[in-house]
């Protein structure tokens, strides 16, 4: 904990003011709901690609990935390796589909296909996923900024949240996209600076880092054994494929951007630009985590300081001896998320700290602003206009989007405050997103791929899939006397098993019915786009 130099405070203040100024600038264009949600479909593909990349590169990546690499190895990088295949499927099938429907919501199709229940179910899953995403990101940014400034985590979340709400509400999707373009550059530069400082401060340089990493198996991608009870290479690969497919294929954050480009070709290019940027940059964050591990192994006094800090947080009223005993038992996995903030506090020189903080803010703000805008859009289109007031005017719709964006921003802050105390930002986000997104993706794939499946088969399959997801989620809480009823799978398999259960059970029931194909209803108010 330390007071930041004036120059660093000025850099941080300039960044926050700049982001709000972007919102003010684009607020001149927000005269309609269509402009707020689609930016009138005139954004170039390269800007959308950078925007999607910035959304992927959240504070969960900026802080959680180095913490994960510090505490274990590069097993989680397999998630990024699965991205190209998911991107190919989305670019080949999903982008043309959305562009031809003209629907701003990713979930309107589900009602046309299976009925209102399917659309509502997907919307609820999406909104819960966004709250989990925003909460974990708010928590991640507060974790690091608390170490740098000494302010309470809740206070940091509130101040940052207000800034995000201001520019997102005023500027709409256009402000979200262009701020993310800037934020993507800032946070990448910030990570490169930290990586350089770690390597430069390490006696022996790169060769010593490699030596320490190899000795402690820090570069492993995980076991290649066909074991789905542990976080093996195959478990993370499957999780990565399905989660990235959910992101690119039916997450409103990304689907909404496909409508902001001028053509299908530009939308497809934006996906591939994101992949080309994110995969190597995510690898850089794993490299950073391994470098920090070697650095702290070489400076045991700093490592002991982190152990004592974490132990003190867990035993706020404990005696010095009790805290010291707990500190000695802590493993790297239990304090990995604390390492990079600690390094920034103690080893980043004045003048650069402000830029690093701006990078961390960028990592959080880009993803949160996207989630706020997408959540507000889904609430407006799929809930308010669908069930409460179908004949809403454009002026009323725009006012509703302003209010909904603000409400979801506040809910995201509240979720982040509730997460204070979790061990790993990345773990909690992967678990929650897998639970909420698994059923949604399975239902969507069933509707797109199986033209014979009807409402009854889809509903039955979804119920069975939800039962499986709930069982796998709460398996660890099953008493020991009923241990045989616990799920044998790793928690990352919840997403995979949940998706496949709904999809395959739906196909099975469709096959058993054996009737002729049912025509898929055409989307209402369809607008064909190039």
CA separation for the pair 139, 141 (Å, rounded): 6
CA separation for the pair 198, 291 (Å, rounded): 7
CB-CB contact of 453 with 511 (8 Å): no
SS (H, E, C) 28-45: HHCCCHHHHHHHHHCCCH
Q: pLDDT 10s per residue in the chain (530 long)?
A: 456 677 888 888 888 888 778 777 777 666 667 667 666 667 777 888 888 887 777 766 777 788 888 888 899 899 999 999 999 998 888 888 888 876 767 788 888 888 888 888 888 888 888 888 888 888 877 877 776 777 788 888 888 888 888 878 877 777 777 777 887 888 788 888 889 999 988 888 899 999 988 988 889 998 899 888 888 999 999 999 998 888 888 777 778 778 777 888 888 888 898 899 889 998 999 999 999 999 988 888 888 888 888 888 788 777 888 888 888 888 888 888 788 878 887 888 877 878 878 877 776 777 788 788 888 888 888 888 888 887 878 788 888 888 888 999 899 888 888 777 665 555 666 566 666 666 788 888 888 888 888 888 999 999 999 899 888 888 888 888 888 888 888 888 888 898 899 999 999 998 887 755 444 444 444 444 44
pLDDT at 525: 46
pLDDT at 292: 92
HSE-up of 86 (CA within 13 Å, CB side)?
Answer: 25
pLDDT at 203: 86
pLDDT at 443: 87
DSSP 110-148: HHHHH-HHHHHHHHHHHHHHHHHHHHHHHHHHHHHHHHH
CB-CB contact of 295 with 76 (8 Å): no
pLDDT at 527: 43
pLDDT tens digit string along 397-418? 888 888 888 999 899 888 888 7
Q: What tokens appear for 284 in the block?
A: 């850089």
pLDDT at 88: 93
pLDDT at 519: 45
DSSP 52-89: HHHHHS-HIIIIIHHHHHHHS-SGGGHHHHTHHHHHHH
Q: What tokens appear for 454 in the block?
A: 């009807």
pLDDT at 60: 67
pLDDT at 528: 41
């Amino acid at each position: 904990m330390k007071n930041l130099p004036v120059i660093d405070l000025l850099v941080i203040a300039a960044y926050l003011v700049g982001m709000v100024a972007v919102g003010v600038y684009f607020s001149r264009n927000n005269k309609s709901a269509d402009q707020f949600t689609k930016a009138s479909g005139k954004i170039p593909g390269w800007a959308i690609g950078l925007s999607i990349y910035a959304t992927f590169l959240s504070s969960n990546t900026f802080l959680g990935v180095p913490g994960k690499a510090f505490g274990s190895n590069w097993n989680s990088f397999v998630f990024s390796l699965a991205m190209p295949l998911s991107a190919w499927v989305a670019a080949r099938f999903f982008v043309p589909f959305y562009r031809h429907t003209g629907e701003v919501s990713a979930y309107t199709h589900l009602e046309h296909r299976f009925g209102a229940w399917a659309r509502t179910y997907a919307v609820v899953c999406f909104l819960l996923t966004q709250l989990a995403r925003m909460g974990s990101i708010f928590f991640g940014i507060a974790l690091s900024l608390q170490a740098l400034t000494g302010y309470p985590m809740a206070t940091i979340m509130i101040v940052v949240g207000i800034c995000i709400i201001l520019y997102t509400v005023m500027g709409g999707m256009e402000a979200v996209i262009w701020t993310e373009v800037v934020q993507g550059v800032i946070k990448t530069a910030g990570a490169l600076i930290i990586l350089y400082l770690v390597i430069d401060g390490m006696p022996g340089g790169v060769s010593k880092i490699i030596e320490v990493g190899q000795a402690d198996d820090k570069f492993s991608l995980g076991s290649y054994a066909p074991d789905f009870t542990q976080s093996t290479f195959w478990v993370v690969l499957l999780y990565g494929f399905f989660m990235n497919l959910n992101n690119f294929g039916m997450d409103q954050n990304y689907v909404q951007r496909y409508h902001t480009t001028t053509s299908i070709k530009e939308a497809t290019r934006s996906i591939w630009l994101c992949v080309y940027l994110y995969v190597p940059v995510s690898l850089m964050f794993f490299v950073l985590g391994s470098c920090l591990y070697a650095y702290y192994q070489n400076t045991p006094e700093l490592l002991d300081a982190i152990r004592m800090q974490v132990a003190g947080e867990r035993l706020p009223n404990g005696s010095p001896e009790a805290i010291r005993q707990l500190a000695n038992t802590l493993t790297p996995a239990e304090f990995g998320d604390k390492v990079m903030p600690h390094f920034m506090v103690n080893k980043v020189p004045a003048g650069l700290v402000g830029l690093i903080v701006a990078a961390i803010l960028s990592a959080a703000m880009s993803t949160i602003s996207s989630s706020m805008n997408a959540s507000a859009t889904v609430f407006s289109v799929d809930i308010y206009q669908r069930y409460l007031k179908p004949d809403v005017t454009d002026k009323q719709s725009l006012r509703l989007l302003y209010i909904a964006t603000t409400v979801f921003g506040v809910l995201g802050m509240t979720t982040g405050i509730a997460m204070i105390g979790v061990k790993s930002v990345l773990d909690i986000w992967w678990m929650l997103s897998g639970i909420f997104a698994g059923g949604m993706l399975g239902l969507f794939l069933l509707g797109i791929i199986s033209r014979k499946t009807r409402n009854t088969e889809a509903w039955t399959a979804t119920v069975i899939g939800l039962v499986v997801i709930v069982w796998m989620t709460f398996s660890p809480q099953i008493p020991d006397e009923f241990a045989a009823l616990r799920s044998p799978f790793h928690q990352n398999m919840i997403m995979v098993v949940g998706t496949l259960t709904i999809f395959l059970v739906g196909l099975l029931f469709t096959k058993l019915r054996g009737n002729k194909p049912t025509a898929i209803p055409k989307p209402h108010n369809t607008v064909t786009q190039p």
